[in-house]
Structure 1
């Protein structure tokens, strides 16, 4: 919390010194813009920042009548981004309202315009919404990936609904490239989820496109929904290789599940040894659907000369105590440390833990074995 507070104060100081906004804060974080608005207002109130708004009136004094008479067209003297940001976040609503016309054509300030569109002062809010209606449809994809997360973050505010409606209309009725830009180029997970919803509703992607989205995203919700939609598209020849090659276990699990729908049950057998428990479970289901016996595959693998790392673990997940206990105990002496760790995990799953043997394995040179032995000993450690 202290580091975050210091970072927020530093952002205000940078803006106060006139640094460009891209150097003052991380604009890809929607929270950073809301924090900047709040922090600038607080800094001005407490006198930590002394902004000069003479560029709004052409005078050193307040000149409120000039502000009130000003139209939506700004004067030729355009302020810097930092000075305009200070005005847009000023505690005085008249300053905020008068500064808004200067933000036209300034994409780096569009997130602050979004914040002003939720302003408590109706004149400020009305002018900001009018500017947002004009600027949002023509915003570049880079600007949209920064602005859309701010809109969605402020959706919960009392007056945040109108900006959300503008964004939703743009994504649903505008060019599909805007949806793609958010889905593939935005760092904010909530924004990518919203973009995926629109993409699915508009059917902007075929099965292969959805599989690529699932394989390339790191958000579990996006992975899950995109992978499920890719499987439902019914294009296994195109989608399954992409899904099976993904780094995420939940995406690989979707690819393994798709093998059953394509009638390719035998191809699921290698994934019985996958590093993801979810993928292994799906592979066992697909193998059973094809008439196979996953436990027999695991037993054969564990009895071979080259034991796959996770074969003992898989045997513990679907084997039986009476049949497989002896094989797993023997594998705790295997020369491969990963196999030993897998065997300890398998014994724990089958409730065949020998506390004395587990204590011996706490001195094993393989960290994974020590970790699994410690987990197996937890019921005896009080």
Structure 2
């Protein structure tokens, strides 16, 4: 059993022990009691998330109360009262769970155990649910921001359960007037799903001010949280149908959002620039590193009668140090920039000092229609440019025209002594020339000195054996003889399952 919901060794150990067979041995019971006692009162218990408590509830269902022989040398001093209640409230017997939820049995001082009370609000037994709801109302009435935040996180995690909405409703009654500390705890929860739900609740209750939304939009690592915060903030700063220009304060917020590292935040912010009538702020983003942002920026410029292609051409006329991959891609994506015109602007940057820019130039030239770079030029770049990014950009372009590349040229790039990335790319291009060329080069590379190249060849042979070409195609007699010569050496590496489709083809008569 694995415990992906636990975050520390001690919480993991508890779930592992709970997952043992229903009837615990004396030794296992002692180990579980010791693990629970060590966890009681520890800081990690207060930071354990809803997923762990759900797993605890599931695994503890058949454990019941631990009963150990007090005279046993393995017996600990006794199970912590809070854990006694936790095991009882998760018991398989509904009457046991209901008794644990009675007012006089609630461990009111054990705040970390509050999630289990929330879980019982969605219990499958109606009497248990009713008792749990009454108990939760009583506990929440005397809970501080930390406890209320834990209850809200647990209730949201149970929302998709059958009857899970009861706990959500009870907790929601306490969120309207909750102090800012509660929202701060929820917005810094390590689980992005809790932060998403907290933002939704805060917006619905109008508990999010501009500074908080701006922090979430610019700092939260989850793209959904950041984008949602940005969208709500932009809706208040630049409402739809606004007739007046944006205020200086709103413009300052716009600039903060435009500087976000999250492309989703930049995208929604650039979109708003259209109704804000600020194409000047959108112009730099025609060279953004995100294609989506570039497309939106061009749309904003066109909406205001400006030509994005002219903007992109002017940008490439600047000093080379200011050129970025986004600027290269931006010009190539402009539909109204002629291929010849764009190619003339892009080619000088094939020698740019930054590999990312050189790779972007190759990608832009190769994707033009018709392509503005020849296969021979691409092969030369692959051979001479040591940057792996450039090789990754040129390789697929050559693969698209693999059948027209001289085999001798590719064999030269594949020769021992060449850089490993170049050899690997040359092998991929040869495989793209045809099904029999693919099989031949894979069989030859099985014993290559480069272990990665040999492993890739073996994996590709396995994929080749599952392809449709192995069922309908026939090799020529000449190529069949080549395969027969390579097969003995291949048999020392491949197993019978991999060799079966190859031998099946070689047993069939071929074509001349």
Shorter-chain TM-score: which interval?
0.7 to 0.9
1:357 to partner: Cα distance: 3.2
Counterparts of 2:202 and 2:229, CA distance in 1: 10
> 1:308 corresponds to which residue?
323
Alignment of 1:155 onto 2:159: yes
1:83-112 deviations in Å (ceiling 9; x for gaps): 433333233334333333333232100111
Counterparts of 2:94 and 2:312, CA distance in 1: 70
Alignment of 1:334 onto 2:348: no
Higher RCO (CA < 8 A, seq sep 6+)? 1
> 1:58 corresponds to which residue?
none
> 1:229 corresponds to which residue?
232
Q: Is the 8 A contact 2:153 2:186 kept in 1?
A: no
Moved more, 115-124 or 348-357: 348-357
- Counterpart mapping for 1:251-330 below 5 A: 251-306=265-320, 307-310=322-325, 311-318=327-334, 319-330=337-348
> 2:441 corresponds to which residue?
none
> 1:368 corresponds to which residue?
389
1:109-153 deviations in Å (ceiling 9; x for gaps): 011111122222334322221121122344333333333232122
1:19-78 deviations in Å (ceiling 9; x for gaps): 225577795432211111111225x28xxxx71399xxxxxxxxxxxxxxxxxxxxxx99
Instruction: State the SS of the aligned residue for 2:106.
Output: helix
Alignment of 1:193 onto 2:193: no
Structure 2 stretches of 5 or more lacking a match? 18-30, 70-77, 239-249, 402-428, 433-512
Q: Is the 8 A contact 1:268 1:286 kept in 2?
A: yes
Q: Is the 8 A contact 2:339 2:368 kept in 1?
A: yes
Cα 1:183–1:372 change in 2 (3 A) is: farther
Instruction: State the SS of the aligned residue for 1:120.
Output: coil
1:222-279 deviations in Å (ceiling 9; x for gaps): 2222212212212623421221222211112233333343333223222222222222
> 1:41 corresponds to which residue?
61
Instruction: State the SS of the aligned residue for 1:196.
Output: helix
Alignment of 1:86 onto 2:101: no
Alignment of 1:204 onto 2:207: yes
Counterparts of 2:110 and 2:209, CA distance in 1: 36
> 2:33 corresponds to which residue?
16
Counterparts of 2:289 and 2:257, CA distance in 1: 15
**Structure index of larger Rg:** 2
